[in-house]
Structure 1
Amino acid sequence: MSHRQVMKVLSGLLLGMFVAILSSTVVSTALPRIVADLGGGQSAYTWVVTASLLSMTASTPLWGKLADLAGKKVLVQSAIVIFVLASAGAGLAQSTGVLIAFRAVQGIGVGGLVALAQVILASIVPPRERGRYSGYFGATFAVATVGGPLLGGVITDTPGLGWRWCFYVGVPFAVIALAVLQRTLRLPAARRPDVRVDWLGALLVAASVCLLLVWVTLAGDSYAWASWQTAAMVGGSVLLGLLFVRVEARAADPVMPLWLFRNRTIALSALASLFVGVAMFGSTVFLSQYFQLARGESPTTAGVMTIPMIAGLFASSTVSGLVITRTGRWKAWLVAGGTLVTAGLGLLGTMRYDTAYWQLAVYMGLLGTGIGMMMQNLVLATQNQVSAEQLGAASSSVTFFRSLGGAVGVSALGAALSGRVSHYVEEGMAAAGIPQSGAAGGGAIPDLGSLPGPVRQVIESSYGHGIADVHLYAAPLALVALLLVLAVREVPLGRRAVGE
């Protein structure tokens, strides 16, 4: 296929990806206000994000397997419909519990779009050319990521609209995406009626991940980290994980073929994606909270202030994709990306509520540039190792681990943030001689505008220091990702599509 033909096919797919990412990020700057309006606390804030990541993580391998067995066009259209319906439901939510439930359904649609986009791309483009188009996916991700918070801030701050419209804004784009996909996406059917989907394996991996996330979110708050609840939940999660491995080893068509991980490149790429997910999702989620609660900015301004990170992601994903297409070499980009992510997180770990913005911009730029170099290229390295029949399962496996890292990272870092903010609030109030009664801590999202000046300064300082700690905790995980990609053996990209 010529470049023009490929872009015609991918136009609707890129628009669908844009819708999913935009509708996910558009709520990021509005989250402090959403959770406050619905009467939630830091735990609810974390779970509004984690719920969609969790369902995306659990459903991604299943979408990938379905792509190996059924028509990809119908699947990607179904994913968009699921996402749009869940978005409308989230906009009508009257409590954090209902909102979290609809966000979980949203994640199922996002899981389909993310997994299927990579599979369809690999089905029509040779590995050597795939870097170029992966760069387009990265650019789409960046534009939607920077546009989402900005649009969400404007919607939230505009009288007569409010945060509920953040969930409705993606609906028109989704309708257009469906129409474009119907017209432009032409793929041969790949049905294998003699094969059944491994539903038991999908259920076990979802249950194992869910139990682990519930433990991470509640530990240290509802019960101690060292407690019988911790032992029960961690033990249960490990047991379910072992059962999943046993089922996959015996299944005729496993949802996540274990033999894939005998390949060193796939295994290391998957593990690296796990730690990249922590950096990517954890940082983007809590940076918005930092600008609003540590610096007192509006949702719109908070979105604008994250532009350096997204600009770095946009530039690096596009440039790395073009260069990889010309050279066929990808490992150097992964190594450079891992180095920048580690450095960016470490430097963000030094910020405080009054840190000069130009410093924050440099730190965010480094982090975004590193993420852009790693995110798509880890998938690219994996796809280069498998045949057409296993393309869906292999691609979704890497995406699964990235989503898993994001879900566990947001839950764990959110729990850590709640504890650190409460600690710093207690210290700050005691140092200032202010009574603790009525002071907002880590359990509730504060309304800075209603707080007296001295109390507000303590709260802003506490959130600034606490969110810095979160980035500091994530930095060693990024270092692990760097060590993993250093151990990957580079195989130059080929020039034939998987179906040829």
Structure 2
Amino acid sequence: MTTTSGTTATDASAAPLPRRGVLPSLSGLLLGMFVSMLAATVVSTSLPVIIHDLGGDQAAFTWVVTATLLTTAISTPVWGKLADLVDRKLLIQLALVIFVLATAAAGFAQDTGTLIAFRAVQGLGAGGLAALSQVIMADILSPRERGRYMGLFGAVMAVATVGGPLLGGLITDSIGWRWNFYVAIPFAIAALVILQRTLHLPRRRRDRVSIDYVGIVLLAASVSLLLVWITGAGVSYPWWGVETALMVGGALLGAVLFVLVELRSREPLIPLSLFRDRTFTLSVVASIATGVAMFGTSVFLSQYMQMSRGASPAEAGLMTLPMIGGLLVASIVVGQLITRYGHWKPYLVAGSVLLIAGSSLLSTLRYDTPFVLVSVYMFLLGAGVGMTMQNLVLIVQNTARPQDMGAASSGVTFFRSLGGTIGVSAMGAALAASVSDLFASSQARLGAAIAGLGERGADVAAQLTSGTLPAVNTLPASVRVIVEDIYAQGISHSFLIAVPLAIISLIAVMFLPNRSLHRATTQERLAASEAGLATEAAGEAVAGSAAGIAATDAEASARRPRR
């Protein structure tokens, strides 16, 4: 039996998982998420050292991060759409393999260009893990039950997000930064084995599988042109000029063509019909600001700790713990409260307010800001991300049709990744321009400090004028204070970009429909939908049969001779 959407009805193996089967099925998913988070966070505190060793500048630093976020954003809706068409278990295993192999290959990079290329491939796998984990969770758990298991996901996040930067810093300080890219391989192998043995999902077959290849190309081209322009504008070329006209015009043209293709596609990459749902549309708007706060601030906070406070990679990992703590505490506590009481909107509103407060306060940082205040600012921002990030996906899954669950879930994740990608690019461009101007205006101070170093001054001057990121903690104290102040001002100014977006997020959240969370999983809702269609079809058949019998009786009666 097939539904009107072409999905083959599930067989006995598609029955919803019994509650006792939830934890084994989640185990492989949890380990897969741990691998992806560990591989990403273990490198975060080492990036300034990596870029310095490979001879890269601030633009290279930004693109090492942006390349991963860009391909993550572009591939997320592709993976989500595939999840509605083919075997989800196979897809998440494939995404994990791509992610880990690309991560390991990045460890062999000899220049920033090669590193950026492998990081881009890494993002392809990361997009699959981000999208498919949300879709599979909806297969296993209902929206109302999700918070009950947030403690497990919180524990995984705690080990990866806290342990990753610390482990990465220790590896960089003791062995070498390249080993950061290899550490996730044994965990990935274990995750693949456990996923194969424990994750049991129904096979959702389609009569015909159609992939929107043209939409994929247009989406990739549009987003890539926009990011290249944001990264280089004001540094490599003027804000207003031929380059800007070509790249911005090309991005807009690609976006228009993408919309036209999606309207005509049999299986659109991002079904535009989803935007008819106010919950989906407003969640997309709010997710963009969350992405900027989550990705942008975490990337540049690590750089702030090393470039403006003279911390080593390991110390930088420790110094960013307050933000991770705020994220974990908020996500776990709010998840439990949502499961217990069923209310979600107050926590989203509070989280959006905390995003505004945290972003605004971080824009006031200086190299000598008391670390207690820095910790409070980071905790507020982390709590805001923890209250909004997963819950925006949750409420979209609560209202989406079961047949569109993959596209809807990945759609929100896509725009969150896109917001993070654009945010990191914009913040990196603002940082590069600000640092360049501050170095120019501080020439007199730097010249006097370098002149007082005697013969060593030539080496210090060469490091500062080479165009590569300086190793700040190795500079003499008189020069280091000036450089730390320059980078602190540049990084704090870049945080201002997140503030207006956080305000827009709050407005979007305020207008979200306050719908109650249901207690059915995606598979249970799909089965109910198919049962409803079958009942309706059977009713029509019975009515048709009855009408046919009545017509036959009437015809026979008319043919009888009258007495």
Asked if TM exceeds 0.5, the reply is yes
Deviations 1:117-153 (A, max 9, x none): 0000101212211233356435533431222111110
Q: Does 1:457 align with 2:481?
A: yes
- CA offset at residue 263 of structure 1? 0.6
Q: What CA distance in whole angstroms lies between the structure 2 residues aligned with 1:439 and 1:156?
A: 21
Q: Does 1:200 align with 2:214?
A: yes
Give 1:303-322 correspondences, 5 Å limit.
303-322=317-336
**Which of 308, 316, 322 is equivalent to 1:294?**
308
Partner of 2:393: 379
- Describe the SS at the equivalent of 1:462: helix
Structure 2 residue identity aligned to 1:236: G
Unmatched tracts of structure 2, length 5 or more: 1-16, 451-460, 525-563
- Describe the SS at the equivalent of 2:287: helix
Is the CA contact 1:57–1:400 (under 8 Å) kept in the aligned structure 2?
Answer: yes
- Describe the SS at the equivalent of 2:399: coil
**Which of 343, 354, 365 is equivalent to 1:340?**
354
- CA offset at residue 108 of structure 1? 0.6
Give 1:205-284 correspondences, 5 Å limit.
205-284=219-298
**Which of 21, 27, 30 is equivalent to 1:14?**
30
Q: Does 1:363 align with 2:383?
A: no
Deviations 1:425-479 (A, max 9, x none): 2223335653896462795301224433322211100111111111122122111
Structure 1 residue identity aligned to 2:85: L
Q: Does 1:100 align with 2:116?
A: yes
Is the CA contact 1:71–1:189 (under 8 Å) kept in the aligned structure 2?
Answer: yes
Say how many residue pairs are matched.
498
Is the CA contact 2:44–2:165 (under 8 Å) kept in the aligned structure 1?
Answer: yes
Is the CA contact 2:104–2:182 (under 8 Å) kept in the aligned structure 1?
Answer: yes
Unmatched tracts of structure 1, length 5 or more: none
**Which of 184, 195, 198 is equivalent to 2:198?**
184
**Which of 87, 90, 96 is equivalent to 2:103?**
87
Q: What CA distance in whole angstroms lies between the structure 2 residues aligned with 1:3 and 1:191?
A: 25
TM-score (norm 1): 0.97
Q: What CA distance in whole angstroms lies between the structure 2 residues aligned with 1:241 and 1:146?
A: 38
Partner of 2:143: 127
More off after superposition, 166-175 vs 199-208: 199-208
Structure 1 residue identity aligned to 2:63: W
Q: Does 1:168 align with 2:182?
A: yes
Partner of 1:480: 504
Deviations 1:394-419 (A, max 9, x none): 00000000000011110110010011
Q: What CA distance in whole angstroms lies between the structure 2 residues aligned with 1:264 and 1:82?
A: 35
Partner of 1:5: 21
- Describe the SS at the equivalent of 2:403: helix
Structure 2 residue identity aligned to 1:379: V
Q: Does 1:419 align with 2:443?
A: no
Partner of 1:152: 168
Is the CA contact 2:100–2:184 (under 8 Å) kept in the aligned structure 1?
Answer: yes
More off after superposition, 2-11 vs 238-247: 2-11
Q: What CA distance in whole angstroms lies between the structure 2 residues aligned with 1:340 and 1:443?
A: 37
Q: What CA distance in whole angstroms lies between the structure 1 residues aligned with 2:508 and 2:198?
A: 39
Partner of 1:350: 364
CA RMSD of the aligned region, Å? 1.6
Structure 1 residue identity aligned to 2:22: V
Q: What CA distance in whole angstroms lies between the structure 1 residues aligned with 2:151 and 2:73?
A: 23
Is the CA contact 2:311–2:473 (under 8 Å) kept in the aligned structure 1?
Answer: no
| Percent identity for Structure 1 against Structure 2 | 57
Q: What CA distance in whole angstroms lies between the structure 1 residues aligned with 2:321 and 2:68?
A: 23
Give 1:386-465 correspondences, 5 Å limit.
386-431=400-445, 434=448, 438=462, 440=464, 443-465=467-489
Q: What CA distance in whole angstroms lies between the structure 2 residues aligned with 1:284 and 1:259?
A: 34
Partner of 2:64: 48
Q: What CA distance in whole angstroms lies between the structure 2 residues aligned with 1:131 and 1:381?
A: 12
- Describe the SS at the equivalent of 1:26: helix
Is the CA contact 1:131–1:377 (under 8 Å) kept in the aligned structure 2?
Answer: no
Q: What CA distance in whole angstroms lies between the structure 2 residues aligned with 1:416 and 1:440?
A: 19
- Describe the SS at the equivalent of 1:128: coil
TM-score (norm 2): 0.86
